[in-house]
Amino acid sequence: MDYKPWETKEGKEVWKSKAQYFTWLRGALRRIWSDYPLRKVWKKNSLRPVTKEERQQKKYHPSTKNVGQCVFCLEWMAGSKLECDHIKPSEGCYDFSTAKEFLLHCGAQTSTNFQLTCKPCHKIETLANAKGISFEEAKIEKLTIAWLKENKGVVNQRKLLSEMGIEGADKIKATEVRQVYFDYLKKNS
């Protein structure tokens, strides 16, 4: 049977395209992951209680009971600030054959594919996987995006690039500012 719910009369009212349908399906399958019992047990077992010394040093918020370490930044933090991430990323969910694999990715994984990450590092890792770049390059990409949002306007951006010592900053094309700032960060990291 050829399933195409986005092409049915009712489906056309809900999804404008096949891509929209699979975006919805991916979100529905991701909810399985958020409630996956093995993930919850693994995360709980991966955390440790806050020590008396840490309580006395006020290292964590007073309500923090358990802490864990991010595999990327190696920071110790409250368990509530850590996420259970897949070591091997998903291939996506864009048709029914990949949807099956995505279902297994969200609801059939074992602890051999789990790692603890803080939320910021998880976002960086997700960007790195999506773009096929290194974690460090994705981190610089996130910083570049934040800089562009904070410093709107090509005239302002050129001025800031000039203040950073970038020669010819006043002549940089608007379409090149992002790459110039990215390269500057990469060179100076």
Distance CA 139, CA 151 (A): 18
**Residue entry with tokens 């100076």:** 188
Q: What percent of the chain has pLDDT over 90?
A: 69
More confident residue, 152 or 43: 43
Residue range 37-48: mean pLDDT, rounded: 96
pLDDT confidence tier of residue 171, bands split at 50, 70 and 90: confident
Long-range contacts of 169-175 (CB under 8 A, 24+ apart): none
What pLDDT shows up at residue 50? 95
Q: With 80 as the cut, is the pLDDT of residue 184 above it?
A: yes
Distance CA 145, CA 63 (A): 34
Residue range 155-182: mean pLDDT, rounded: 89
Q: What mean pLDDT, rounded, does the chain reach?
A: 92
What pLDDT shows up at residue 189? 80
**Residue entry with tokens 């850590």:** 82
pLDDT confidence tier of residue 1, bands split at 50, 70 and 90: low
What pLDDT shows up at residue 51? 93
Q: Which of 102, 110, 129 is nearest to 26 (CA)?
A: 102
pLDDT confidence tier of residue 135, bands split at 50, 70 and 90: very high
What pLDDT shows up at residue 14? 92
Residue range 34-39: mean pLDDT, rounded: 94
- Which run of H or E residues covers position 83? strand 82-86
Distance CA 175, CA 36 (A): 44
Q: Pull the structure tokens for residue 10.
A: 């009712």
What pLDDT shows up at residue 91? 87
Residue range 102-125: mean pLDDT, rounded: 94
Residue range 166-182: mean pLDDT, rounded: 88
